[in-house]
Structure 1
Amino acid sequence: MPTTAERQALRSALLATPATPTGTVIEPGRAVFVGSGDSLASALIATAAGHRALSAGDVTWNGTVPAGCDTLVGISHSGTSGATVRALRIARDAGLRTVAVTSQPGSPLADSADTVQKVPTLAVEEVVPCAGHLMLAQGVAAVCGTDTSTVNADLAAALDRVCTLVDAAAAELPAAMPAAVSVLSLPELRAGADFWSLKIIEACGLAVRSVPLEESGHVDYFIGPEAHLTVQLLGPRGRARFDRLAGALRTTGQTVRQVDAAHLVDASGPRADLVRDLAVAVAGTWFADEARRRWGRPPFRGGAVNMDASHIKIEV
């Protein structure tokens, strides 16, 4: 669990960070948002507004723009993620409108876009990173027409509830590290579930996948015999199906843990779904950090992996 000081540092950073300015708003159903890693989790926020989200590599390494797309939105905090920059350039050369969501308006990504949606930088020290996603997701929401002016304050107000949720989830962690982890969700928390998967991978070095709820019901009977942890992220909808599936998976010997995020935020708020998804992302980061502590795992495999990220950066 984060210490009181760490929790307060994130709260203070959120309250001190200016709101994401309103950028160019695009029409629903005609845009594709692309990113990689954390930025792809941010791209998934756009699906709630009727847009599509793809890995930037789906565009770059196919060399073609998605069918039925007239606007491509590239997402990268640094603005130097190679596949995302190349995807925007492919779209621009094909005559599509291009938008960059980034904290770096002078970056290669911004230079490749017709319009730049700048996002603030959240100044907070982290072991397992979350701040970039919190800002990029708001940039994505702003491009989709959402007023994000109170999101930082709403998220800061939810942090105590996030801590309570993580404390309960971490208390139910299996004593021994599993061979792999599945994170289940419905679309309302799909971006959060994707982020949980990324953070557990980074913190613990485990194989982790994000799975739509019903697909787990169709195939996960066959997982095993190694120890497997299934985390169900519950929002306001589909609870009966989550419960039924949890019971079925337990009969196959799997460990199932439910994380109830339905009441993390005030459901009557105008941006409740967005704030909930971001609160779930924070919870996933803190949960992953606690899991790696309990299982004795150094984050990012303790320096065993080259972290210069040169293989994913654009050459400039």
Structure 2
Amino acid sequence: MEPLNPAQDRDALKAALLGAPPVVAGAVPDLGRAVFTGSGDSLASALVATEFGHRAMSAGDLTWGETLPAACDTVVGISRSGTSGATVRALRLARDAGLKTVAITSQTSSPLADSADAVQLVPDLDVAEIVPCAGHLALAQGVAAVCGVDTAHLNSALAETLDRVSELVESQLTALCTAAPAAISVLSLPELRSGADFWVLKLIEACGLAARNVPLEESGHVDYFIGPQGHLTLQLLGTRGRSRFDRLAEALRTTGQSVQQIDVSGLVDGDKPGAGVVRDLAAAVAGTWFAHGAAVRWGRPPFRGGAVNMDAKHIKLDS
């Protein structure tokens, strides 16, 4: 397994962010009531749009359900490569139904871009990664741009958070249980739902464990039944709901669960423009680095050490 090198990872991502061109808002139509759609990491990016009053759905729900969501004016498809099969099909389904379509991608010459009325281009971040997050950072900024956020400063603002992110992850890894749990839950409120979803994806990829993203109150209603096998609950704390997180953590610990509170509220100064988006993206970076560190601590090589077929043909658009 590749060793964890927090300083190297931090410095490499910081250089990539500062060296990349900013996301420039494209000429997209008035969204009206929009649904942002993608799969995997791209669905986590789509969830950023929910903070701006839009909806996020898995591309497979649209494509394989063969039904467009009600009260929808625009479908926004998200895929870095522009070749994710369900996302391309979802955009084509929307286009054929007469809805407005937007693609968020880094590939202007791609099936996704060809299926859209407008394209929001995002740059690729040039950084070597074991457990990847750079694609999400770019796509999520594309989502923010389509939602009307001024994204010109986001790369530099995110780069400024990385020292704090590194310190947070280091302290959380120190507190981590020494043995891998049977499964992991990540608890969140809507302000960090995108970041929490990304934590889950990275924990699965890096550690090969079942993980889930749970709305805070739903965990309070059902999760005390989990056991007796070892279970790790990670509470992703933002600026809201602190007393409820604390009360639930106490309750879950009485059932034998390991609970860690991961406070990302201080990663970004709250009065800065776009602070909510930057905090969510900084949380996603923290989740990536935490997942890699957990895999090292538990002796579980990321992506199961090459034991998994990674050609991903089953999710690409077939000819």
Question: Under TM normalisation by the shorter chain, which class is it?
Answer: over 0.9
Shift of 1:2: 3.6
Corresponding residue for residue 316 of structure 2:
313
**Structure 1 position 244 matched with structure 2 position 247:** yes
* 2:31–2:73 contact (8 Å) kept in structure 1: no
Corresponding residue for residue 86 of structure 1:
89
Corresponding residue for residue 211 of structure 2:
208
**Structure 1 position 257 matched with structure 2 position 260:** yes
- Secondary structure (helix, strand or coil) at the match of 2:160 reads helix
Corresponding residue for residue 156 of structure 1:
159
The residue type equivalent to 1:113 in the other structure is A
Corresponding residue for residue 102 of structure 2:
99
Give the share of equivalent positions with the same residue, in percent.
Answer: 70
Shift of 1:254: 0.5
Q: Aligned pairs, how many?
A: 316
* 1:29–1:50 contact (8 Å) kept in structure 2: no
1-side partners of 2:287 and 2:146: how far apart?
25
Aligned counterpart in structure 2 of residue 139 of structure 1, from 134, 138, 142: 142
Structure 2 gaps, min length 5: none
1-side partners of 2:245 and 2:6: how far apart?
31
**Structure 1 position 180 matched with structure 2 position 183:** yes
- Secondary structure (helix, strand or coil) at the match of 1:54 reads strand
Shift of 1:27: 4.8
Deviations, residues 113-169 of structure 1 (Å, cap 9, x unaligned) = 110000000000000000000000000000000001000000101100001110111
**Counterparts in 2 of 1:29 and 1:44: CA distance versus 1, 3 Å:** farther
Deviations, residues 260-290 of structure 1 (Å, cap 9, x unaligned) = 0010011100110000000000000000000
1-side partners of 2:90 and 2:5: how far apart?
37
Corresponding residue for residue 273 of structure 1:
276
**Counterparts in 2 of 1:28 and 1:251: CA distance versus 1, 3 Å:** farther
Corresponding residue for residue 192 of structure 1:
195
Deviations, residues 28-74 of structure 1 (Å, cap 9, x unaligned) = 66000000000000000000110000000000001121111010000
Deviations, residues 163-215 of structure 1 (Å, cap 9, x unaligned) = 11101111111111000000000000000000000000000000000000000
Report the TM-score when normalising by structure 1: 0.98
**Structure 1 position 60 matched with structure 2 position 63:** yes
Corresponding residue for residue 230 of structure 1:
233
The residue type equivalent to 1:55 in the other structure is S
* 2:76–2:104 contact (8 Å) kept in structure 1: yes
1-side partners of 2:60 and 2:50: how far apart?
18
Aligned counterpart in structure 1 of residue 294 of structure 2, from 291, 295, 303: 291
Shift of 1:25: 4.8
1-side partners of 2:279 and 2:5: how far apart?
19
Corresponding residue for residue 43 of structure 2:
40
Aligned counterpart in structure 1 of residue 305 of structure 2, from 298, 302, 307: 302
The residue type equivalent to 1:11 in the other structure is K
Structure 1 gaps, min length 5: none
Alpha-carbon RMSD across the aligned residues, in angstroms, is 1.0
The residue type equivalent to 2:88 in the other structure is V
* 2:32–2:73 contact (8 Å) kept in structure 1: no
* 1:92–1:113 contact (8 Å) kept in structure 2: yes
2-side partners of 1:273 and 1:25: how far apart?
22
